[in-house]
Amino acid sequence: TRPSPLAGALSRTPYSGTRVHHFAMRSSTQFAVSAAVAATAVSTGASSSDCLGFDTCPDFPQPYGPGSYPTSYNYTGTFPSDFVWGLGTASYQVEGAYNEDGRGASIWDTFTGANTVGMVGSVCDETPCPINEAQFDKGATGNVACDQYHQYKEDVKLMVSLGLKNYRFSIAWPRVVPTGSVADGVNELALQYYDNLINELLANGITPYVTLDGK
């Protein structure tokens, strides 16, 4: 059974056979560990070198590290009556079909070492394409991901089963404009895919919220 991108968004756990979720989980775990180190640095008066990305270690509360999540929260107030609740995904994390229907190579394809030989925008001339040394989980790619490109109708059914009313997703620029320049033409097959997805959402009473993914 194919894992749901929504389930991944909800639980933030890696799924067998869906390596992009595994990659995302590893990245978030690394961030949490780094944040824990930063928080420790604050309490011990450590130098800015202990809090990478900051001139000085921040004094605001850091994200919780693995295994240290709270069991209760102290908060007050309410959300505005017109606050919109929903779920969201990113194109690279869920679409898959990285080399289908005229999609161009993205920076994530290049970063993960996906086989982009012959694709528009590729910087790889022969396989195996190099994996960026900064990638933690070598071999993890979004080549297939959750395969939403082919199975968006199933995904929308899952959204309906959750009672979802609002769905935020991103449009992949490399899919719509493979070369990165509108002057070179727009990929009509990509536009058709997003039209189909939006129509499916609307037909099932789900409001689409669209963002642009320039990667």
Phi, psi (5° rounding) for residue 93? -75, -20
User: What integer best gives the mean pLDDT of the chain?
Assistant: 81
| Among candidate residues 146, 100, 99, the one with its CA nearest the CA of residue 124 | 99
Contact 93, 24 (CB under 8 A): yes
| Among candidate residues 93, 72, 112, the one with its CA nearest the CA of residue 25 | 93
Average pLDDT over residues 23-37: 40
- What pLDDT, on a 0 to 100 scale, did the predictor assign at position 67? 80
- What pLDDT, on a 0 to 100 scale, did the predictor assign at position 49? 55
d(Cα 140, Cα 108) in Å, to the nearest integer? 11
- What pLDDT, on a 0 to 100 scale, did the predictor assign at position 40? 47
Instruction: Tell me which of 26-30, 67-71, 78-82, 170-174 is least confident.
Output: 26-30
Residue 43 has pLDDT above 60, yes or no: no
- Using pLDDT thresholds of 50, 70 and 90, give the confidence band for residue 70: confident
What global pTM score does this model have? 0.67
CA dihedral 69, 3, 172, 177 (to 10 degrees): 160
d(Cα 100, Cα 23) in Å, to the nearest integer? 22
Q: Which residue type sits at 111?
A: F
- What pLDDT, on a 0 to 100 scale, did the predictor assign at position 174? 96
- Using pLDDT thresholds of 50, 70 and 90, give the confidence band for residue 33: very low
Residue 148's alpha-carbon distances to 24, 26, 116, 155, 183, in angstroms, are 17, 22, 20, 7, 28
Other CB atoms within a 10 A radius of the CB of residue 13 amount to 11
d(Cα 151, Cα 20) in Å, to the nearest integer? 17
Residue 66 has pLDDT above 80, yes or no: no
- What pLDDT, on a 0 to 100 scale, did the predictor assign at position 215? 65
- What pLDDT, on a 0 to 100 scale, did the predictor assign at position 88? 96
Q: What is the pLDDT of residues 133-150, one digit of tens each?
A: 999 999 999 999 999 999
Residue 172 has pLDDT above 90, yes or no: yes
Average pLDDT over residues 90-118: 97
- What pLDDT, on a 0 to 100 scale, did the predictor assign at position 32? 43
Average pLDDT over residues 189-200: 98
Residue 59 has pLDDT above 70, yes or no: yes
- What pLDDT, on a 0 to 100 scale, did the predictor assign at position 212? 84
